[in-house]
Chain A
């Protein structure tokens, strides 16, 4: 069909407010007020979740016991990402890590910083660096930086 095909440019912008819930709020308050990382433990399988969860996914029971974790951990996996859509408050390259925080059973997704991309490795020890201005969000942790602890 020999007709000019018109392109319509749009953008969906919808504001949301999401209630974090009691469990997540307690986690964020720990980060914001005390620079502490809290997880919670499943009464059935003993697994410690961070960020904490309302119910254990596997056991399907409420997790009620709170556990304070260290602010140190081990890099389980990482990637150096060479693009950005402007969502992350970071310049490229952005280093993402799956970090096993000491005392937790799974890994925690966050940034790795204060290090050259080529120097990051799996098994590396890291420590949370907290943001100076904390508002009660996941970004209250600025990133995890290499550590000797």
Chain B
């Protein structure tokens, strides 16, 4: 594909109950990304904001942050969905040639609304919403389906949570910085069985921003870019009962495209680090399979093998992932930022040595209905 890269990244610390307003969070992330890129707002040709009206509790939530995103007098557009889709749109705008540089910013204050009610509202109001189903209870149905089909156990799910919590200790941006054991997970409060408290990502506030540039725009930046080697997004069916919840054909299709662009044939060997959407612990196992890191039905074998631990062949979620901080919508951009920092060698205590090729992943909708992936490299 035509060359396009990431030249600046910025994120707030992820916390619950941040006192900053949406606009303050967005301003912090945007100015951080611009400072990182070594440019001013005048070097940005267009802005993409990522927000959701239900989470913000107002319509046209994007307009509440346009000043804070420095978009006055610029072309601004909005994505309502995970940040990875915002990055995708921002990349397309730079690739279109209409703009050379794009600032993409996502924000959320999960602590200000009610996660269960907000995610209940993503279900069909006539056939499903009245049942009270939400992100967590639908995920629990998926987790059980996955266990029934593959023989994966609750302890396997717990292993994911233990690994990612262990990694999160090294990430100063993570909300939860606490090591836990399999026993801790197994004994934690039952939320929606088989999911327990430590199988579930926390309620989080925060913002993240990236600056994307096409090759023509690169002369504005001093730093070497991290190149987007491949990117794709695909959606699955909307209705739970008519999707195979135990596999992720949308993710398989997305990575087939993205790996094709990036020239990757054996992702487990060729990728150096993966940052994926572990909204619930079991999801990481399912996404291993969708990403082609494990054969179908064998996601649990990969976590048991230790291959995805920090000292394994392919560390997954060195940041601690979403289990240590889940700013909804922001999460996908945060994965891209983490992947970018890894390739630059700027990931501090969570650095994977010699990381040169990274994958960032984000999801939208119940049970990973839509998937977006970026393959990044130096």
Contacts and interface: CB of A to CB of B under 8 A. Distances in A.
B145 A76 contact: yes
Given A18-B126, A106-B239, A107-B240, A81 B131 contact: no
Interface residues of A, number: 40
B151 to A, nearest CB: 13
Interface string A33-55: 00000000000000001010000
Interface string B11-38: 0000000010000000000000000000
Given A18-B125, A79-B193, A111-B131, A87 B120 contact: yes
Contact of A98 (B117, B132, B141): B141
A82 B194 CA distance: 11
Nearest to B192: A81
Given A76-B145, A85-B114, A109-B131, A98 B19 contact: no
Among A76, A85, A109, A117, which residue has the most Cβ atoms of chain B within 10 A?
A109
A118 to B, nearest CB: 10
B116 interface: yes
A98 B130 CA distance: 15
Contact of B125 (A16, A81, A109, A110): A16
A129 interface: no
A49 B117 CA distance: 27
A40 to B, nearest CB: 13
A87 B117 CA distance: 8
Interface string A96-135: 1010000001111111000001000010000000000000
A106 B131 contact: no
Contacts of B346: none
Contacts of A57: 237-239, 242
Contacts of B41: none
B116 A85 contact: yes
Contact of B241 (A5, A12, A109): A109
A81 B136 CA distance: 9
Given A16-B125, A57-B237, A137-B130, A96 B116 contact: no
A138 B126 contact: yes
Contacts of B142: 77
Contact of A96 (B129, B137, B143): B137
B144 interface: yes
B132 A94 contact: yes
Nearest to A79: B140
A67 B129 CA distance: 25
Contacts of B128: 109, 138
Given A77-B141, A77-B144, A107-B241, A96 B133 contact: yes
Interface of A: 5, 10, 12, 16, 18, 20, 24, 49, 51, 57-58, 76-88, 90, 94, 96, 98, 105-111, 117, 122, 137-139
Interface of B: 19, 57, 114, 116-117, 120, 125-134, 136-137, 140-145, 148, 189-195, 237-242, 245
27 contacts: A5-B19, A10-B57, A18-B125, A24-B126, A57-B239, A77-B141, A77-B142, A78-B141, A78-B144, A79-B195, A80-B192, A81-B137, A82-B193, A83-B116, A83-B191, A85-B116, A85-B120, A87-B120, A87-B129, A87-B131, A88-B131, A94-B132, A96-B131, A108-B241, A109-B127, A117-B193, A138-B126
Top 10 A-B pairs, shortest CB-CB distance:
A88-B132, A107-B241, A79-B140, A87-B132, A106-B242, A81-B192, A77-B145, A80-B193, A106-B241, A77-B144
